[in-house]
Chains A and B, each alone.
Chain A
């Protein structure tokens, strides 16, 4: 884990602990994916709101604490704004909101971001812009059928500017969903939908994700980057434990989590 991504986790931990919000483990899982995407795009164009900017859509909207913490790291949100996260009267609610400047689309109900991002990719092509669309989805989110409607069309259209990043941590709200509705093999499913598929065995390795994004979009097909991540990554008692899908750390739990994150030997 890089020092930057460790610090982003500390920020997320503070945001969620102070507000009592949910989804800390979902946010920890996706930190490297989101940061890799922001490092791969022209953030200046996003900041300026240029119409030929790359689009980033957080389809797994419940991981939005990670999105906002990463956006702050890229100068798209201030620390003061982050401090309001999930508190009364804040724009920064527990799911991604387009009322927050530079957030492309509000999400929360699963399976919405992928079709919307597809529309953005189609629109970029129609306007003859070279920009790309990156959509971050959860693995359990892929149980929603609307995703596959979008993927079917993206594959048919050979939309090379459409890139789906899957946070494949294997755990949904109720636990390990392999036990009730397995979605594996995800890679084969995407291939059968005519995607170029890149699998990353350590989906919490930011460099590998950046490298995969660099490789993507060159073929005449949309890309699926499947990142095998760990839910709750960075705090041992949260890792792969479904309890932390909802539960915010309080008191001693918070202190313990801070201490663990601070003790990580960063890269």
Chain B
């Protein structure tokens, strides 16, 4: 996904003189050529995420559209107030690219996990949140984000590679659509691939990727509620800070049915143990096998 992302970025910067690339000292062996090709529109601001976002706001004032790259958790949480005050309050439209999500950095410990990054961001006006599940989805989302004029975009993406093997026409779409099944796994980001793999061993459900988290896609949600008795929201972030929480708000506000809505997500704890992403996914019931099993038992 990162390969495709940086191809998009390099092409976009070459075409649009108002794009400005900023990194918080992240992107070894990925970003160097941007600095070489565009020395006046690319900068490593160092390990300083608050400054990264503040500088981005200043660049917006000059008419630039900054693309800011760092780890998801540092970008969303260390510099949260800068995103709120200096970006969203002003209606600026930078693109925030947060690398690694969920348990991608499991062996680095809880400071490096992105389980709660969307909690604050979801409450902010003037920002979209994307959680691309595939390289093709990332490409489409980048196109959308580059076109935004008065809204920022926060794109949080997994290190894990996954492709549907076809172009996607919308960030929110069926990845596996089956007729005459009662259940749909509604997911985003890395968990879409786990659901996809789970669907290969359990043929009793569909998989819908909701890679655009905010604004909430009520239209597709209503269709899913009409078509499926059970909706399992599968995500590798805390349910209070993600899609499940948005779904709950939507159905309550719209007086829709609340039965059959289930969350499959990590326990809301900071685990004292470390391990690979697969270790944590297994532990939290998010491995493909566990997802298949969970849905089978519904």
What's the nearest-Cβ distance from chain B to residue A230, in Å?
A: 29
Q: Which of A148-156, A180-188, A203-211, A241-249 contacts B (4 or more CB under 8 A)?
A: A148-156
Interface of B is mostly: helix
| Number of interchain pairs (Cβ within 8 Å) | 100
Contact of B62 with A153 in the complex, beta carbons under 8 Å: no
On whether A118 and B51 interact (CB within 8 A), knowing A108-B85, A153-B45, A153-B46, the answer reads: yes
Interface of A is mostly: helix
Q: Which of B50, B53, B58, B85 has the most CB of A within 10 A?
A: B58
On whether A115 and B20 interact (CB within 8 A), knowing A123-B64, A152-B48, the answer reads: no
Contact of A118 with B58 in the complex, beta carbons under 8 Å: yes
* A residues in contact with B63, CB < 8 Å: 51, 123
Nearest A-chain residue to B38, judged by Cβ:
A126
A228 at interface (Cβ–Cβ under 8 A)? Answer: no
| CB < 8 Å neighbour of B57 from A109, A119, A149, A152 | A119
Contact of B62 with A124 in the complex, beta carbons under 8 Å: yes
Contact of B54 with A109 in the complex, beta carbons under 8 Å: no
A214 at interface (Cβ–Cβ under 8 A)? Answer: no
Contact of B58 with A115 in the complex, beta carbons under 8 Å: yes
Contact of A123 with B89 in the complex, beta carbons under 8 Å: no
Q: Which of A107, A108, A153 has the most CB of B within 10 A?
A: A153
- Bound: A118/B52 CA distance, A: 10
Q: Which of A37-45, A67-75, A77-85, A98-106 contacts B (4 or more CB under 8 A)?
A: A98-106
Residues facing A in B27-77 (CB within 8 A) are: 40-41, 43, 45-46, 48, 50-51, 53-64
On whether A120 and B58 interact (CB within 8 A), knowing A106-B85, A106-B89, A153-B45, the answer reads: yes
* B residues in contact with A21, CB < 8 Å: none
Residues facing B in A166-210 (CB within 8 A) are: none
On whether A121 and B58 interact (CB within 8 A), knowing A149-B48, A149-B51, the answer reads: yes
Contact of B81 with A109 in the complex, beta carbons under 8 Å: yes
What's the nearest-Cβ distance from chain B to residue A135, in Å?
A: 10
A112 at interface (Cβ–Cβ under 8 A)? Answer: yes
* B residues in contact with A109, CB < 8 Å: 81, 85
* B residues in contact with A107, CB < 8 Å: 85
Nearest A-chain residue to B58, judged by Cβ:
A119
Q: Which of A105, A124, A133, A145 has the most CB of B within 10 A?
A: A105
| CB < 8 Å neighbour of B59 from A111, A122, A146, A150 | A122
- Bound: A116/B57 CA distance, A: 6
Name B residues whose Cβ lies closer than 8 Å to a Cβ of A.
Answer: 20, 40-41, 43, 45-46, 48, 50-51, 53-64, 81-82, 85-86, 89-90
Ranked 7 nearest A-B pairs via Cβ: A119-B58, A115-B54, A123-B62, A119-B55, A149-B51, A149-B48, A120-B58
Q: Can you report 22 A-B residue pairs in the complex whose CB atoms are below 8 A from each other? A: A51-B62, A105-B86, A106-B90, A108-B85, A114-B54, A115-B53, A115-B55, A115-B82, A115-B86, A116-B57, A116-B86, A118-B55, A119-B61, A122-B43, A123-B20, A123-B61, A125-B40, A126-B20, A126-B59, A133-B58, A149-B45, A153-B46
Name A residues whose Cβ lies closer than 8 Å to a Cβ of B.
Answer: 51, 55, 98, 104-109, 111-112, 114-127, 133, 145-146, 149-150, 152-153
Excluding A123-B62, A153-B48, 9 further A-B contacts by CB distance (< 8 Å) are A112-B54, A115-B82, A119-B56, A119-B60, A121-B58, A127-B62, A146-B50, A150-B54, A153-B51
